[in-house]
Amino acid sequence: MSLVEITPQHYDVQIDLKYATSDNFTGKRVYRKDARCFLHKEAAAALERAIVLAKTQGYRLCIYDAFRPSEAQWKLWEHTPDPGFLADPRRGSPHSRGVAVDLGLCRWDFTPLPMGTGFDEFHPRSHHGRLDIDAQSQRNRLLLMGIMTSAGWDFYRNEWWHYQLFNSRSYALYSDKAAGTGMMD
């Protein structure tokens, strides 16, 4: 299997999988409560580079989502079929390939930095380069983008929190069963 588990002990990140809680745009839990965080091994290597770069700036990363089984992508799409913010599950999401991560920057004590909007806020204010958010949030987004792109990630212009490997469609799609992650009920 090409997926590896991302844990705070091995990667020095905070993991707050929003879809394992009701604190997400659906208002419902999508993953099991005890869902774990996974990435493709190439994405995990890029994450390690980003962690080092964030540390040099005095920050840590907080992961809100990573590998997302195809079944979960369908649940999200059925709730909000908005191709501006969600990948159509018929085409497949970079998350369902294990090569995308949703994350934010945190202080050393894991206090999140302000980003102008919340995670998964499907609004134009969530787009990169917005001038209608405060200057500090703009700087924080640019810092996160600089860290992630320097570490080898591509960004998605509509979501400040979403990064994926380049050529993400060249990676295989995984269901929960095929991946063996046990994330879905």
How far is residue 98's CA from residue 152's CA, in Å, rounded to a whole number?
15
How far is residue 28's CA from residue 179's CA, in Å, rounded to a whole number?
23
How far is residue 37's CA from residue 101's CA, in Å, rounded to a whole number?
10
- 48, 78, 121, 159: the active-site residue: 159
The helix/strand count (H/E) of the chain reads as 5, 7
159 classed as catalytic: yes
Contact residues for 33 (Cβ-Cβ < 8 A; gap 6+)? 20, 21
Handedness of CA 36, 40, 147, 51 (dihedral sign): positive
How far is residue 80's CA from residue 150's CA, in Å, rounded to a whole number?
32
By annotation, the residues acting in catalysis are 159
